[in-house]
C-alpha cells in the first residue's frame, strides 16, 4: 500500500477522451464529471485522473484504489457481438485501457469500484456479455428516461455480500444507461437487482474489495457509503 495511516488514500479514476469546449477553445480533452472528484474527496481520498491514452497498468503501484467511471457504450467487439442499431458512440481505445486496468487491479487485489459503464467493463473484461439495448429486454426505458435525465432505480441486495454490508438490504440510486449485464463472467457474483430483473451490482469472488454497481452513486452527494467503503478498504 502506498499511503501512510495519516495520508489521504490516492484513488485513480478513469476519464473520458472527448471533444470539449472551454473559453474560446474547442479541442479534444481528458475530462470527468466533477461529482466523481467531489465524492472521493468527501469520502476522505485524493482523486487522480487516469486518461485513456498511454496506458500503463504499473501506475496502479502508485494508487491505493481504483474507480472505473461511467460513460459511453462498450464496443460489442470486446465481447464478440455484432453491434445493435442503438449501440453508438463507442470508444474501443477506452475499453482496452480500462480492461487493462481492471486486470491489473484484480491481480494485485487493489480496491476497485466500478460505476455504471464500469460494471459493464468489469463483466466484459472477465468474459461476460451485455444486453446492448435494455428496453428490448425489460419493455421500458426507466433506466434512461430521456437524454441527460437520470432515472431512479430501486435495488434489492443479496444478503451476506459486500454490497449488503455497505448498503443494507435495499437502496435507491440514480441511473442512466440503456445497456446492462447479460451473461455473467466467471468469477463474478451478482449481488443486487432492480425489480425488473436488471443486474444492479456484482462482486469479484476471492477479492477483498472489487465491486461494481449499475447506478451512479456519485450523483447522490448525501450518500457516500460506497466511496467511504472504498476509502476504508485501502486502509
Q: How far apart are CA 114 and CA 128, in angstroms?
A: 15
Instruction: Per residue of the chain (235 residues), give pLDDT as tens.
Output: 444 445 899 999 999 999 999 999 999 999 999 999 999 999 999 999 999 999 999 999 999 999 999 999 999 999 999 999 999 999 999 999 999 999 999 999 999 999 999 999 999 999 999 999 999 999 999 999 999 999 999 999 999 999 999 999 999 999 999 999 999 999 999 999 999 999 999 999 999 999 999 999 999 988 999 999 999 999 8
Catalytic (active site) residue 216: yes
pLDDT of residue 5: 46
Q: How far apart are CA 146 and CA 159, in angstroms?
A: 33
The x, y and z cell numbers of residue 44, run together, are 476522505
CA proximity to 70, closest of 101, 102, 33: 33
Q: How far apart are CA 64 and CA 7, in angstroms?
A: 11
DSSP 185: P
Catalytic (active site) residue 116: yes
pLDDT of residue 7: 86
The pTM assigned to this predicted structure is: 0.96
Question: Which residue in 177, 200, 216, 219 is the catalytic one?
Answer: 216
Catalytic (active site) residue 72: no
Domains of the chain: 10-233 (3.40.50.880)
pLDDT of residue 3: 46
Q: How far apart are CA 40 and CA 37, in angstroms?
A: 5
pLDDT of residue 6: 57
3-state helix, strand, coil in the chain (%, to 5): 30, 30, 45
Q: How far apart are CA 9 and CA 228, in angstroms?
A: 11
Residue 1: strand, helix, or coil? coil
DSSP string, 115-173: ETHHHHHHHHHTT--EES-THHHHS--TTS-BTTB-EEEEEEE-TTSHHHHHH-SEEEE
CA proximity to 17, closest of 54, 46, 45: 54
Question: Which residue in 97, 116, 200, 219 is the catalytic one?
Answer: 116
DSSP 79: G
Q: How far apart are CA 153 and CA 41, in angstroms?
A: 25
Residue 21 neighbours by CB under 8 Å, 6+ apart: none
Start-to-end Cα distance in the chain: 8
Place of cell 467531489: 38
pLDDT of residue 1: 46
Amino acid at each position: 500500500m502506498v499511503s501512510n495511516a495519516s495520508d489521504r488514500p490516492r484513488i485513480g479514476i478513469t476519464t473520458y477522451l472527448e471533444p470539449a469546449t472551454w473559453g474560446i477553445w474547442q479541442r479534444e480533452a481528458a475530462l470527468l464529471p466533477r461529482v466523481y472528484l467531489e465524492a472521493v474527496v468527501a469520502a476522505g481520498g485524493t482523486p487522480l485522473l487516469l486518461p485513456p491514452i498511454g496506458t500503463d497498468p504499473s501506475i496502479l503501484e502508485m494508487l491505493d484504489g481504483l474507480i472505473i467511471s461511467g460513460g459511453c457504450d462498450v464496443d460489442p467487439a470486446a465481447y464478440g457481438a455484432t453491434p445493435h442499431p442503438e449501440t453508438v458512440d463507442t470508444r474501443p481505445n477506452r475499453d482496452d485501457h480500462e480492461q487493462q486496468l481492471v486486470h491489473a487491479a484484480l491481480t494485485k487485489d487493489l480496491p476497485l469500484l466500478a460505476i455504471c459503464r464500469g460494471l459493464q467493463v468489469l463483466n466484459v473484461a472477465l468474459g461476460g456479455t451485455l444486453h446492448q439495448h435494455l428496453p428490448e429486454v425489460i419493455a421500458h426505458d426507466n433506466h434512461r428516461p430521456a437524454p441527460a435525465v437520470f432515472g431512479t432505480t430501486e435495488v434489492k441486495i443479496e444478503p451476506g455480500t459486500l454490497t449488503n454490508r455497505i448498503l443494507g438490504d435495499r437502496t435507491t440510486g440514480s441511473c442512466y444507461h440503456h445497456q446492462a449485464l447479460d451473461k455473467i463472467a466467471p468469477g463474478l457474483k451478482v449481488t443486487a437487482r432492480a425489480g425488473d430483473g436488471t443486474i444492479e451490482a456484482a462482486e469479484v469472488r476471492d477479492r477483498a474489495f472489487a465491486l461494481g454497481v449499475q447506478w451512479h452513486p456519485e450523483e447522490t452527494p448525501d450518500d457516500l457509503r460506497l466511496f467511504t467503503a472504498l476509502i476504508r478498504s485501502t486502509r
